Amino acid sequence: MTRAKELPPQWPGAYEDLIKEWQGLERAQVRQLTLSAGGRPVFALHYGEKEMVSPSANFNAAVASKQASAFPYRYKRQRPSVLLLAVIHGGEHEGLFGLQSLMKLLETNTDLYGREWPELVELAQRCRLSLVPVVNPDGYVRFTPGSGKLLSETENARFVTGSFPDGSIPIWPTNKAVHPFPKGGKGFLGAYYNDNGINIQHDEFFRPMADETKAILDLVYDEWPNATMHFHTCPHGSCFFDADYTPIEHFNFASETAQAFSQRMQARGIPDGPLPERNYPSEAAGKPFNLISAVYHATGSYSLLFETELGSDFCQHELSFEEIHDTQLIAVSAFLKTTLENFEERKRAEA
Ligand SMILES: [Zn+2]
């Protein structure tokens, strides 16, 4: 396979066009959460009825109480609340590609390629779904190529993680050693960041620097999601990762989701990546307390990172755009299936 020359017609387009599409959806409730650093609106889309729950305590106090009754959102609802977050890093449009197709499925019963996904639709209809398709619109519009599959590895690195004021391109993860990312000189602000150079994944969660981060945390406190999935993109096999600094029960949820995903990927014939491992705190360097961990610690939502393979000629596996698309919907299917099984088990145990 050689490098892709152009994006497929199904690929997400200009941000203004996406907003018009979302506002034209018939079944979704669309609302603006905040404005980005660059003044662009960040939207949430909701499918299914919101069920209010009134926990008797905030999450960390509820944990300390050891009382199941302090977690009513786990079992008093009729259906679980699920939050899907994409384009946290502006150069990673693959998750959005999947969410655009999920919206089309929920509206018209066929995906962006005109195919049906009956299991996914049935699972989605059993949940309250909240989608933030573009958490970081500033980075999204800065990533003008749309997909790293059109770029060389170096070009992609420059677009995604930027270049410092002296013109040097940091290699991931050394781009995180200076944060907020500096602007000016011969530098270029990579799509990772909002217009103030904030990497939302590594914001200050006790005192957020970015309004986009505050908006996501507000949404989490408003929805009390049972489970949250964070879409990112990587150069190695697609896989789910557990959030760090969570209990073993959380890791078990991540493992079950990852196994369900891997089985479906094998059945579809798309290569994937490893299953999650619980290997800290033995790692000497420790692990970052990032947005994924923060979502868990805010309200107790299961919170998983999903890394999809970019599928370019410099990645572990080359994937077609259609395979990248299917990977997103397969991942959402696995995530919803595990969430629903877990929810129903808790309802039985805790009611
Ligand atoms: Zn990312």
Interval 184-191 mean pLDDT: 91
Model pLDDT for residues 277-318, shown as the tens digit of each residue: 876 655 656 788 999 999 999 999 999 999 999 999 999 999
Rounded Cα–Cα distance for residues 323 and 248 (Å): 32
Per the structure, the count of domains in the chain is: 1
pLDDT at 285: 65
Average pLDDT value for the chain: 94
Specify whether the CB–CB gap between 76 and 52 falls below 8 A: no
CA–CA dist 294, 299 (Å, integer): 9
Q: How far apart are CA 116 and CA 98, in angstroms?
A: 14
- pLDDT at residue 281, as a whole number: 57
Ligand 1 centre to CA of 161 (Å) is 10
Q: With 60 as the cut, is the pLDDT of residue 137 above it?
A: yes
Angle between helix axes 15-23 and 94-108 (nearest 10 degrees) is 20
What confidence score (pLDDT) does residue 282 get? 58
DSSP lists the bridge partners of residue 303 as 228
Please give the distance, rounded to the nearest whole angstrom, from the Cα atom of residue 351 to the centre of ligand 1: 38
Please report the pLDDT score of residue 113 as a whole number.
98
- 323 domain residue, yes or no: yes
Task: Check if the beta carbon of residue 27 is closer than 8 Å to that of residue 163.
Answer: no
Rounded distance between C-alpha atoms, residue 276 and residue 233, angstroms = 16
CA 72 to centroid of ligand 1, rounded, Å: 32
- For residue 91, pLDDT over 70 is answered with yes
Q: How confident is the model at residue 4 (pLDDT cuts 50, 70, 90)?
A: confident
CA–centroid distance, residue 156 to ligand 1 (Å)? 13
DSSP alpha helices (H): ranges in the chain?
Answer: 15-23, 59-65, 94-108, 118-125, 137-142, 153-161, 211-223, 248-268, 291-299, 321-350
Helix (H, G, I), strand (E, B) or coil at 101: helix
For residue 6, being part of any structural domain is answered with no
**Residue 139 alpha carbon to ligand 1 centre in Å:** 11
* 180 upstream amide cis, omega within 30 of 0: yes
Kindly provide the residue ranges of all beta strands, DSSP E only, lying in 173-226, ordered along the sequence.
none
Ligand 1: centre distance to CA 86 (Å): 9
Beta bridge partners of 241: 305
Q: Give distance in angstroms: CA of 232 to centre of ligand 1.
A: 4
Task: Enter the tokens of residue 52.
Answer: 């209010």
The string of DSSP letters for 101-150 reads: HHHHHHHHSS-TTS---HHHHHHHHTSEEEEES-S-HHHHHH-TTS-GGG
**Within 10 Å of residue 237's Cβ, how many Cβ atoms?**
18
Question: Would the pTM of this model clear 0.95, i.e. be above it?
Answer: yes
Amino acid symbol at 345: E
| Ligand 1 centre distance from Cα of residue 284 (Å) | 23
Query: What angle do helix axes 321-350 and 94-108 make, rounded to 10 degrees?
Result: 70
- Confidence band for 53, pLDDT divided at 50, 70 and 90: confident
Say how many Å lie between the CA of residue 77 and the centre of ligand 1. Answer: 32
Q: Summarize pLDDT for 218-230 with one digit per residue, the tens.
A: 999 999 999 999 9
Q: How far apart are CA 242 and CA 325, in angstroms?
A: 22
For residue 1, pLDDT beyond 70 = no
Give the Å distance between the CA of 16 and the centre of ligand 1.
22
Q: Rounded mean pLDDT of 51-72? A: 91
Residues 6+ away with beta carbon under 8 Å from 88: 135, 136, 200, 201, 230, 231, 232, 291
Task: Give the separation between CA 104 and CA 28, rounded to whole angstroms.
Answer: 11
- For residue 138, being part of any structural domain is answered with yes
In angstroms, what is the span from residue 15 Cα to ligand 1's centroid? 19
Q: State the pLDDT at residue 185.
A: 87
Determine the average pLDDT of the residues in 209-217: 98
CA 233–ligand 1 middle distance (angstroms): 6
Cis peptide before 281 (omega within 30 of 0): yes
Q: Is residue 252 part of a domain?
A: yes
State what percent of residues in the chain have pLDDT above 70: 97
Q: Which amino acid is at 297?
A: H
Domain at 78, CATH number: 3.40.630.10
Ligand 1: distance of its center to the CA of 249 in Å?
A: 25
Residue 3 lies in a domain: no
For ligand 1, the distance from its centroid to the CA atom of residue 93, given in whole angstroms, is 10
- Domain enclosing residue 63, as ranges: 15-350
Residue 7 three-state SS: coil
